[in-house]
């Protein structure tokens, strides 16, 4: 747990510096000073500042909540419902905005993009593993991969601003045709349940 807390502190410091100064406005030394760790400690967790910044947006403090959520579901629960609940845990308000801001940063600083995609892929892989473990052979082996791929592929346009969807806390100023985040999730999971 201490290792995870150290990595999270370094990643959060890097993310804050990126927000404040842009990716070109700080170096690893600034990150370690802000987080009050050594450069060696940074190197034990991250290969570069870009990796640290991207990791900050996909680090969860509520991992136990996800485990509790899954443990509390009936054994015959539908994998779509499992993924829906898991996604709602992952994309709570502040975390969703952090991911949205990370996508914006990657548009302005292309060196960040591969790390953002890698971090987002880790979220998708964790969801695939959760659905696979939960479904325990009731579905074809490829099902969790297809399901997680569809869901996380549908989330990316929200994060990068390609779709006109209001994120939690965002006002609809002049966007009368914008869907809310919750409405978008319900539509997406409705399509998954019924088929397209």
The CATH number of whichever domain residue 18 belongs to comes to 1.10.10.60
34 and 44 share one domain: yes
Q: Which domain holds residue 49?
A: 2-55
102 and 131 share one domain: yes
| Residue carrying the six token digits 């747990």 | 1
122 and 74 share one domain: yes
CA 28, CA 52: separation in Å to the nearest integer?
9
107 and 61 share one domain: yes
93 and 158 share one domain: yes
Estimate the crossing angle of helix 143-159 against helix 79-90, to 10 degrees.
Answer: 30
The neighbouring-strand residues paired with 56 are none
Tell me phi and psi for residue 36, to 5 degrees. Answer: 65, 50
Q: pTM for this one?
A: 0.82
Whether 127 contacts 191, CB under 8 Å = no
71 and 161 share one domain: yes
Got the DSSP string for 11-75?
Answer: HHHHHHHHHHH-GGG--HHHHHHHHT--HHHHHHH-SSHHHHHHHHTT--S-HHHHHHHHHTS-T
| Count of domains forming the chain | 2
CA 45, CA 26: separation in Å to the nearest integer?
18
106 and 12 share one domain: no
96 and 23 share one domain: no
Please report the pLDDT score of residue 42 as a whole number.
97
97 and 110 share one domain: yes
21 and 83 share one domain: no
pLDDT in tens, the chain (196 residues): 688 889 999 999 999 999 999 999 999 999 999 999 999 999 999 999 999 999 998 776 555 666 777 777 787 788 888 888 888 777 776 778 888 899 999 999 999 999 999 988 988 888 888 888 888 778 888 999 999 999 999 998 988 888 888 888 777 777 678 888 889 999 999 999 887 6
State how far the alpha carbon of 179 is from the alpha carbons of 73, 88, 165, 167, 184, in Å.
29, 17, 5, 9, 6
Torsion of CA 152, 155, 157, 159, to 10 degrees: -120
Classify residue 24 by burial, with Cβ atoms within 10 Å: 0-12, 13-18, 19+.
exposed
């Amino acid at each position: 747990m201490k290792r995870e807390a150290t990595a999270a502190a370094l990643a959060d410091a890097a993310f804050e510096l990126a927000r404040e100064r842009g990716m070109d406005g700080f170096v690893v030394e600034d990150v370690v000073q802000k987080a009050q760790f050594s450069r060696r400690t940074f190197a034990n967790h991250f290969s570069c500042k870009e990796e640290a910044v991207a990791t900050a947006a996909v680090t969860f403090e509520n991992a136990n909540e996800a485990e509790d959520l899954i443990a509390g579901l009936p054994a015959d629960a539908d994998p779509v419902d499992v993924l829906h609940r898991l996604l709602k845990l992952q994309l709570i308000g502040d975390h969703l905005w952090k991911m949205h801001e990370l996508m914006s940063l990657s548009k302005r600083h292309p060196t960040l993009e591969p790390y953002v995609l890698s971090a987002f892929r880790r979220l998708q892989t964790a969801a695939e593993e959760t659905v696979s473990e939960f479904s325990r052979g009731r579905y074809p082996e490829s099902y969790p991969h297809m399901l997680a791929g569809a869901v996380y592929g549908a989330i990316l346009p929200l994060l990068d601003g390609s779709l006109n969807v209001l994120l939690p806390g965002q006002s609809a100023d002049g966007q009368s045709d914008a869907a809310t985040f919750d409405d978008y999730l319900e539509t997406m999971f409705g399509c998954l349940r019924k088929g397209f």
